[in-house]
Amino acid sequence: VLAVLAALGLPGERQPGLTGVWCAGRKVAAVGIGCRRWITRHGLAMNVNCSLQGFDAIVPCGLRDHAVGRLLDWRPGLTCAHVEPLLLAAVQRQFNLELLPTRLWDSGGRCAGVR
């Protein structure tokens, strides 16, 4: 995620003692991992161009007094279609993988196979 922000010319950073990725003091991405019944799950959520209105009704990630942001606030017109190839390329570089496009469901969502 930090590599994606860097590719967009944005100052991505970590906050000591907090999870996620931050930009200009606002949390723009959450990263998580879980384990239940010997099954691990991991993932990330990056606020690209979503509405932030729903965050007013919750305490995001249990962090009071910390603002949530979206990349669109710094890069007008930015869409997930712009960010997706940057994220996939960063994952390939970071983990030395070749991601293979594949369609796993009919809803139009995509998932990448791994080689």
The residues carrying an active-site annotation are 61
What is the distance, to the nearest Å, from the Cα of residue 84 to the centroid of all Cα atoms in its chain? Answer: 10
Residues listed for the chain: 115
φ, ψ (nearest 5 deg) of residue 86: -65, -40
Amino acid at 85: P
First to last CA, the chain: 21
